[in-house]
Chain A
Amino acid sequence: MNGNAFSFSQLGTLIRGSAVYRSIVRHGTAETNRNRSLVIFENLFLHVHPVKVREKTLKFSHTYWLGGITVSALVVLIATGILLMFYYHPSVPQAYRDMKELKFVVDNGVFYRNLHRWAAHLMVLGALLHMGRVFYHRAYRPPRQFNWVIGVVLLLVTLLLSYTGYLLPWDQLAFWGVSVGTNMAKEAPILGPPLRFLMLGGNIVSENALLRFYVLHCVLLPAALLGFLGVHIWRVRKDGGVQGPPEPPADDEVEP
């Protein structure tokens, strides 16, 4: 046993001493405050986090994890979405057929498709609840007013992603859903009809619409979402972390 433990620690030392390890993990695990800060600063994936987090903001009732759930759903959506893109052709004769192929032939195809669908529902729901939480915690007030606006944009992009994805299976539900939706857009004054034409690439829900919605769903909207999401999380950090429930007002602030 001792021999084993010895060889393990030897192996550990060997790995930690290697050039490859040291070029990836540059700051070791020395648990000094300085070192912890350095680890965060110099890591692309971690540096969006604040270096220090107040313990009370980690309480569940502070965030209900709603923002986190939304982002996690997004990660699942991107992962499954890329897999689905391998099997999907945005063309009229093929699109619905590909749904069948996913169901009948592709290994775990139904699982990926369902995962994508449920994660999409979860993301919309999470984003809405997150917005409610922020509202009730009065986090839209300065200094977070800018991030509130970013959040509203993110919600809109999320809803648009959800809507554009709805057309892609090219079934009756999709067809009529998009017919109704774009007809609603048409009713907007002045801008309505050209807007609908722009969305559909024509005057009816056709192959052009399918292609447009596909490009929006897989390229433009995800890119916009990721961009705004970066700003959103960066602002959270810059504004001093999550807001949490507002402090109870001091006695002298209470109105008579």
Chain B
Amino acid sequence: MPLRRIFAITSILFLAVLAVSPLKNALRPYRGFQRAFARLGASRAKSLQAAKAYQQQPVAIRQIWLPDFENRVDRCTTCHLGVQDASMAGAPEPFRLHPASYHTPKDTGRFGCTACHGGQGLATLEKDAHGAVADAESPMVPLKFIESGCGRCHTSEQVAGAATLSLGRAALERNGCYACHTVKGHEGFRSEAPPIEAVALKTGAEALRRWLKDPKAVDPNATMPRFQLSASEVEELSHYVFSLAPTRALADRVQAAAAEPAGDAAKGKALFAESRCISCHTVEGKGNGSAPELSRVASRASAGWLLAFLRDPHAFNPRTRMPRFNFSADEERHVVAYMEAEFKDFDAPKEILDPLHVNQTLAEKGKVLFRQKGCYACHAPGAAVDRFGPPLDGIGDKRAASLDFGKRTDIAHTLPAWLEAKVQKPGSFQDGLKMPTFTLSPKEAQAVVTALLSLGAKPVPQPYRSVPTVRASLLPGGAVGALMDKYRCLSCHQIGDRGGDISTAPLTAEGSKVKRDWLVDYLVLSFTIRPILTDRMPVFQMTRDEATQLAQAFETFYLDPRIPEDPYAGQPASSKDPVEGKRLYDTLGCRACHILGAGGGYYGPPLTEAGTRLKPGWTYAWLKGPQKWRADVRCPNYGLTDASALQLTAYLDTLVKSPTASKAKRGGTR
């Protein structure tokens, strides 16, 4: 019967088809991985019992469930079985132990995997989990940008242990990205660019033309990006800039300064070195680089302007980071004379600083360009802010499919690749885009992309959000506030989560940390505390009155309640024993990093005068756990008991400067 035979054959075929699915189910790749892991674990195990434990692990899906974190389920550990297994160091992937970092591998159960790495935590197949398919929903973040994961929870500007992310966030701010793009938390951003109406006072037509063409070619530290301007556009903008009337008062200052007699360049040279200008500026590339390169500054700023600016930078640009130095009028003239003599572009034409005879038609065109090109976002006079770039909030979660790759067919269709190309060559996507070119080094580009990728579409839930433990303290008002503004403490130091990153000493707890008398001396004549550092505190020529005022204010405002005023209170008398403390100092090996007397290492600050400088409360708090105060510090946490920490503190407190030696020593470090 052919019909019955057909029926029989189709029935068997049908059953076979039905068996495909259970078969695929039984042969899922993770099962193979888990068996391989059991073999590998058993072969690496140190004891028979441990080997048995590996073999007895059931083959099953493993997952990390985070109910408080968007109900995340990360099944990565189904295959990556060794992430928390110390015996899997150096094992082949996918079994390798997670490299040690801030939260890993110990905190893997708290944060899961996808919070930092991206990818699809629910998936149990490699292709889906890693998002290696075209337009995957949440592809993994390339390891190059992995610190963007830190930034999802740590929203502060500086994140300890995440150098790339911190660099990227600083670069976003420094390059003025927030001037055009809205980003939550930076709505109040104002660029440090000088107000445009005062530019004509400073520079000449040819110098301005060169600057507009390519600012970085004129000054490698320039933060102004390169706008692709044609020669005629450069001309129009120049005419516009010179058509603006500067404030009468400023013009008078420059004119008066220009008329003053020239100073002594040799004395200026000494002052220039003494004041440590290159803690922020560079000369021939030497220096910190967070302020303009000075080696050719006299060919882009007139002598009158230089003098007037040095005298009171804040009058010319209220947002500049440059502090006001307490030079005498003579000293100011010496410094400018030195700059005029040495910091010139000797190849530049003589008329480089000549002003421009304004052509009104061109100036009108320039005015339109000034708006069109977005110059006003940074240089706008007054408080007008109009961020016309697309908002960047949530850019880290954009799907590749929603990005315009334009002419860039050469790059991978992924968000990180798009961002990397965009921040380096924004003009290459399409003609006529407004975004200018920021000349970023590959390292900076990587950092900026990392910072951008950390801007998630929605904030992480509360228990995972890292709020800086010390909130930004307000600057004190009155005379002290004015002093701190005059010397621009925040350009280099951090207070709370605000401030620059040039100094390694935040001021947040300065009052709990150092003794007042020492601070007064230090402010009057600062010296290097840590010999290894190259960026040193400038010498402001601060008066003793000003220094006392500041030191008093620090002792009032910048305190940390976690640091005891008197650490010995309520402790037995033996805790004050400096002899036992000295023994501890020797046995713990503090000498390896700290100078004391004749010998010791260079990494940490010298302790020869520790008792003069540090308050015992701070020394004690620091010894109890240095990492609590500065995350990147290398000073080890010895886990000292209260008694030992106090004895060591007592010993360090006995180390005071001898009245005779101090003067000579200071002179040496200047």
Q: Which residues of A contact B (CB under 8 A)?
A: 93, 97, 100-101, 103-105, 107-108, 110-111
Structural contact, A108 and B21, CB atoms closer than 8 A? yes
What is the size, in residues, of chain B's interface with A at 8 Å between Cβ atoms?
12
B98-130 interface code vs A (CB 8 A; 1 in, 0 out): 000000000000000000000010111100100
B334 at the interface (CB under 8 A from A): no
Q: Return the chain A residue nearest B120 by Cβ.
A: A100
Which of A93, A97, A104, A111 has the most chain B CB within a 10 Å cutoff?
A104
Structural contact, A104 and B125, CB atoms closer than 8 A? yes
Q: Return the chain B residue nearest A101 by Cβ.
A: B122
Q: Which residues of B contact A (CB under 8 A)?
A: 21-22, 25, 61, 71, 75, 120, 122-125, 128
Chosen A-B contacts, 5 in total, with CB atoms closer than 8 Å, are A97-B122, A103-B123, A104-B122, A104-B124, A108-B22
* Chain A nearest CB, measured from B139 CB (Å): 16
Structural contact, A104 and B123, CB atoms closer than 8 A? yes
Q: Which residues of A contact B122 (CB under 8 A)?
A: 97, 100-101, 104-105
Structural contact, B75 and A111, CB atoms closer than 8 A? no
Q: Return the chain B residue nearest A93 by Cβ.
A: B71
Which of B21, B61, B71 has the most chain A CB within a 10 Å cutoff?
B21
A105: contacting residue among B21, B22, B120, B124, CB under 8 A: B124
How far is A250 from B568 in the complex, measured between Cα atoms in Å? 122
Q: Which residues of B contact A111 (CB under 8 A)?
A: 21
Structural contact, A107 and B25, CB atoms closer than 8 A? yes
Q: Return the chain B residue nearest A104 by Cβ.
A: B124
Q: Return the chain B residue nearest A108 by Cβ.
A: B21
Structural contact, A104 and B21, CB atoms closer than 8 A? no
How far is A105 from B61 in the complex, measured between Cα atoms in Å? 8
Interface of A is mostly: helix
Q: Which residues of B contact A101 (CB under 8 A)?
A: 122
New A-B contacts (10) at CB < 8 Å, excluding given A104-B122, A104-B125, A105-B75: A93-B71, A97-B122, A100-B123, A103-B123, A104-B75, A104-B124, A104-B128, A108-B25, A110-B21, A111-B21
How far is A107 from B75 in the complex, measured between Cα atoms in Å? 16
Q: Return the chain B residue nearest A107 by Cβ.
A: B25
How far is A200 from B508 in the complex, measured between Cα atoms in Å? 56
How far is A110 from B28 in the complex, measured between Cα atoms in Å? 13
* Chain B nearest CB, measured from A95 CB (Å): 13
How far is A101 from B25 in the complex, measured between Cα atoms in Å? 14
Which of A97, A100, A101, A103 has the most chain B CB within a 10 Å cutoff?
A100
* Chain B nearest CB, measured from A194 CB (Å): 35
How far is A101 from B123 in the complex, measured between Cα atoms in Å? 8
- What 10 pairs across the A-B complex have the smallest Cβ distances? A111-B21, A100-B122, A104-B124, A108-B21, A104-B123, A107-B25, A104-B122, A108-B25, A105-B61, A108-B22
How far is A8 from B21 in the complex, measured between Cα atoms in Å? 37
Q: Which residues of B contact A100 (CB under 8 A)?
A: 120, 122-123
Q: Return the chain A residue nearest B124 by Cβ.
A: A104
* Chain B nearest CB, measured from A62 CB (Å): 17
* Chain A nearest CB, measured from B366 CB (Å): 47
Q: Return the chain A residue nearest B20 by Cβ.
A: A111
How far is A16 from B426 in the complex, measured between Cα atoms in Å? 87
Q: Return the chain B residue nearest A110 by Cβ.
A: B21
How far is A108 from B75 in the complex, measured between Cα atoms in Å? 18
Q: Return the chain B residue nearest A114 by Cβ.
A: B21
Q: Which residues of B contact A105 (CB under 8 A)?
A: 61, 75, 122, 124
* Chain A nearest CB, measured from B7 CB (Å): 14
Q: Which residues of A contact B22 (CB under 8 A)?
A: 107-108
How far is A110 from B21 in the complex, measured between Cα atoms in Å? 8
Q: Return the chain B residue nearest A97 by Cβ.
A: B122
How far is A103 from B71 in the complex, measured between Cα atoms in Å? 18
How far is A147 from B61 in the complex, measured between Cα atoms in Å? 52
Q: Which residues of A contact B61 (CB under 8 A)?
A: 105
How far is A105 from B25 in the complex, measured between Cα atoms in Å? 10
How far is A101 from B125 in the complex, measured between Cα atoms in Å? 12
Q: Which residues of B contact A103 (CB under 8 A)?
A: 123, 128
How far is A198 from B418 in the complex, measured between Cα atoms in Å? 44
How far is A145 from B147 in the complex, measured between Cα atoms in Å? 72
Q: Which residues of B contact A97 (CB under 8 A)?
A: 122
How far is A103 from B24 in the complex, measured between Cα atoms in Å? 12
* Chain A nearest CB, measured from B590 CB (Å): 54
How far is A107 from B124 in the complex, measured between Cα atoms in Å? 12
How far is A101 from B120 in the complex, measured between Cα atoms in Å? 12
How far is A83 from B61 in the complex, measured between Cα atoms in Å? 21
* Chain A nearest CB, measured from B397 CB (Å): 15
Q: Which residues of A contact B75 (CB under 8 A)?
A: 104-105
Which of B22, B122, B123 has the most chain A CB within a 10 Å cutoff?
B122
How far is A97 from B25 in the complex, measured between Cα atoms in Å? 20
How far is A104 from B75 in the complex, measured between Cα atoms in Å? 10
* Chain B nearest CB, measured from A84 CB (Å): 14
Q: Which residues of A contact B128 (CB under 8 A)?
A: 103-104
How far is A110 from B125 in the complex, measured between Cα atoms in Å? 13
Q: Which residues of A contact B71 (CB under 8 A)?
A: 93
* Chain B nearest CB, measured from A97 CB (Å): 7
Q: Which residues of B contact A110 (CB under 8 A)?
A: 21
How far is A97 from B128 in the complex, measured between Cα atoms in Å? 14
Q: Which residues of B contact A93 (CB under 8 A)?
A: 71
* Chain B nearest CB, measured from A132 CB (Å): 26
* Chain A nearest CB, measured from B400 CB (Å): 15
* Chain A nearest CB, measured from B14 CB (Å): 12
Q: Which residues of A contact B124 (CB under 8 A)?
A: 104-105
How far is A19 from B462 in the complex, measured between Cα atoms in Å? 68
Q: Which residues of A contact B120 (CB under 8 A)?
A: 100
Q: Return the chain B residue nearest A115 by Cβ.
A: B21
Q: Which residues of A contact B25 (CB under 8 A)?
A: 107-108
Q: Return the chain A residue nearest B21 by Cβ.
A: A111
How far is A58 from B71 in the complex, measured between Cα atoms in Å? 57
Q: Return the chain B residue nearest A112 by Cβ.
A: B21
* Chain B nearest CB, measured from A44 CB (Å): 27
How far is A93 from B122 in the complex, measured between Cα atoms in Å? 14
How far is A204 from B75 in the complex, measured between Cα atoms in Å? 34
How far is A217 from B396 in the complex, measured between Cα atoms in Å? 38
* Chain B nearest CB, measured from A105 CB (Å): 6
Q: Return the chain B residue nearest A100 by Cβ.
A: B122
How far is A111 from B21 in the complex, measured between Cα atoms in Å? 6
Q: Return the chain A residue nearest B71 by Cβ.
A: A93
How far is A97 from B124 in the complex, measured between Cα atoms in Å? 14
* Chain B nearest CB, measured from A114 CB (Å): 9
How far is A105 from B21 in the complex, measured between Cα atoms in Å? 13
Q: Which residues of A contact B21 (CB under 8 A)?
A: 108, 110-111
How far is A44 from B71 in the complex, measured between Cα atoms in Å? 49
How far is A13 from B542 in the complex, measured between Cα atoms in Å? 118
Q: Return the chain A residue nearest B70 by Cβ.
A: A93
How far is A93 from B125 in the complex, measured between Cα atoms in Å? 22
How far is A110 from B20 in the complex, measured between Cα atoms in Å? 12
* Chain A nearest CB, measured from B131 CB (Å): 13
How far is A152 from B124 in the complex, measured between Cα atoms in Å? 45
Q: Which residues of B contact A107 (CB under 8 A)?
A: 22, 25
How far is A101 from B124 in the complex, measured between Cα atoms in Å? 10
Q: Which residues of B contact A104 (CB under 8 A)?
A: 75, 122-125, 128
Q: Return the chain B residue nearest A111 by Cβ.
A: B21
How far is A108 from B21 in the complex, measured between Cα atoms in Å? 6
Which of A97, A105, A107, A110 has the most chain B CB within a 10 Å cutoff?
A105
Q: Return the chain A residue nearest B123 by Cβ.
A: A104
* Chain A nearest CB, measured from B80 CB (Å): 15
Q: Which residues of A contact B123 (CB under 8 A)?
A: 100, 103-104
